[in-house]
Every structure is written in structure tokens, then in C-alpha cells.
A = this chain, B = another copy of it.
């Protein structure tokens, strides 16, 4: 079943201890869509400038991603650049040029509006809300946010997530949003804000799923080498929603939630781990579904006792 993904499609400049690229395809919507595309029909809603390269468009299409909702306007595409610390646990943003993304006003093509799955990348909460309201017949809707919106756009954000089924954020964002340092209590407060499912991403330490009274934890995959963590959190989100769409997950029609959601967290972790193995989106140029399922089985092997 199909997934609508809303967010940024951008160009990134990235420097890690393993190398540097000055301009490569990036953006939350790009990473989420690429990861989701291994599981389900995926539809992009984003805006790019007239500098958006034909080869990048072709790459997304080659993964079966529907680009009808990719708006092209005069000007330059969103550009971000950053540099990672030696241990890759910190990164410094060097440049953020919103360019055409500053005027992003997501409008969904008619063919997208009845898709059952919606995932909202980290954008202005009011835009996230407007997209949600354009959809009919959703089985599952949710998304990401960040400290900036939590701190300075709190009311708008609370208005947006009130109707979400799931929220995917990192541990410091969960603490900031809830005002609770303890993650169990933070999750209970966030459930009360709307989302019955909260996924807390902890980077190299894995992830925690809180679904009503149930929780599930997974450690992070141990890579021999992390080349570039850019986009790993978004690939997690893409694997999560993609797997649920593939399963036809529907809380209202008998899916009790636990096991399917736990497996979605594993597929999210799998996609995040692959993302780090090459610069930018490069790992997705060769990655196969068979490799994904093999890594899912590796997670089973190193967590079972």
C-alpha cells in the first residue's frame, strides 16, 4: 500500500573523517523516500529549484518513487552543508540556504490524497498540519520534528501532532517536548499529546518504541566503519513507515500493534545502518531487498538469548 512522504529534497555538502563531497543529493524527504521505496509504493511531496539535476530525478524514479508531487520552481534548491567531528557524534552546520524551500507550500496531487500512509519530515508544524488535512482515509499518519519547532513553535506543533498516530524523535527532543528527563515518563506525556506510538531514536545506541503500555527496545547495529551518518534518522523513518505500509498495518482493523511495530523499528534500524555505509544516498544505488532482509536476520541473531 502506498506512502506519502513530505519534506525537503536538497543538495548537501558533507565532510566526515572519511572524506568530503561538495554537493550531493540529500534532504529528509529524499532519504525517507529512498528507504521506504524498498517496501512500498512511495510518493514524494517537495519543492526543488531549476538547478535540480536530471540524473537525481532519474535516480529517484529508478527506485519507483512517484514524483508527481515534486514541485519545480525558478531558483535554487535547498542547500545544507556540515562537518562531522572525529568520532562523528557531533556535527557543525556550515551553511543552510533555504532558497526555494522558504516558500514551500505543500499541495498534494489528487492521486496522493487517498493514500493510507503519511509521513511528515521535519518541516514547519503548520505545513505538516495542512498536509494532514488534505488527506482522506489515512490508516496511519505521523512524522518527525526538531528542537527548533519544539522550543519556538510549541503551540503550532502541539496542534499538528494532536492527530498523529506516531511521532519519531530523538531522546533530547523527547525530553524537551515532555519536560521529563526520564524516558518512560516522557513517553507517557507525549502519548497524552496525541500520538499513541512514540519512537525515540538514540543514534548509535538504537531506538525505543513506546506504544500505549507496551515498549520495545533495540540496540544500534555495530558497523565496522561509519562513513557518513547524514540521513540515518530519516532512513530509519522510511524503513519504519515502509514496512508498515507493506504489511497493510491497520490499528483499527485488528492489528494489535506490538509485533508489527517492533519489526518496523528493526527495519528502520536496518535502513539507518545501511545509510551510514557510504556518503549521502550512495548506498541506495546498489542496496537490494535481499541485503535488507539478511540484516534483519542479523538483528535477530545478536539480540536473541
On whether the beta carbons of A225 and B303 are closer than 8 Å, the reply is no
Copies in the complex: 2
On whether the beta carbons of B219 and A206 are closer than 8 Å, the reply is yes
On whether the beta carbons of A183 and B222 are closer than 8 Å, the reply is yes
Query: A222 is contacted by which of B217, B263, B265, B303 (Cβ under 8 Å)?
Result: B217
Rounded to whole angstroms, the CA-CA distance of A300 and B304 in the bound complex is: 8
Residues of B within 8 A of A224 (CB): 182, 184-185
A202 at the interface (CB under 8 A from B): yes
Looking across the interface, which residue of chain B has its beta carbon closest to that of A299? B305
Nearest-neighbour CB distance to chain B for A125, whole angstroms, equals 27
A302 at the interface (CB under 8 A from B): yes
Within 8 A of B (CB), among A288-304: 299-300, 302-304
Looking across the interface, which residue of chain B has its beta carbon closest to that of A260? B305
Residues of B within 8 A of A302 (CB): 215-217
On whether the beta carbons of A205 and B208 are closer than 8 Å, the reply is no
Residues of B within 8 A of A86 (CB): 181
Rounded to whole angstroms, the CA-CA distance of A206 and B222 in the bound complex is: 14
On whether the beta carbons of A222 and B208 are closer than 8 Å, the reply is yes
A128 at the interface (CB under 8 A from B): no
> Can you pick out 5 interface pairs between chain A and chain B where the beta carbons lie within 8 Å of each other?
A182-B223, A205-B206, A205-B219, A208-B219, A265-B305
